[in-house]
Amino acid sequence: MNERIEKLKTFLAASPNDCFLNHALALEYVKLGDETEAKLLFERNLQHDPGYIATYYHLGKLLERIAATQEAIAIYEKGMAAAKQAGDMHTYNELQGAYEDLAY
């Protein structure tokens, strides 16, 4: 298994609720093409901290790749609301662009 994945798992063992580490691990699984594991990790992030807005875009793109279009649209919508609440207009605009590309 990938050395970065092993390191991230070690760090997560010490800090299991660290959204940054969990997100980074999910992205490593995306690189390996393991959409199932990545999806579980992204979803865990949002369950633990719905305000961790970086996860919405990547989960939405993953859902698009696995042809879960309606789920992706819903994730983008939730992400836009979270980004707006956080005052992060850059992320809001990225999510809105992905949403519009998919929904229209």
Go through the domains of the chain in sequence order and give each one's CATH number: 3-103 (1.25.40.10)
Write down the mean pLDDT value for the chain.
Answer: 95
3-state secondary structure of 18: coil
pLDDT of residue 1 exceeding 80: no
**Token pair for 96:** 């809105």
pLDDT of residue 71 exceeding 80: yes
Q: Would you give the distance in Å from CA 56 to the centre of its chain?
A: 5
* C-alpha span between 99 and 96 (Å, rounded): 5
pLDDT of residue 18 exceeding 90: yes
User: For position 91, what pLDDT does the model report?
Assistant: 96
Instruction: Note if the pTM is more than 0.75.
Output: yes
The H or E element containing residue 50 is none
User: For position 32, what pLDDT does the model report?
Assistant: 94
pLDDT of residue 98 exceeding 90: yes
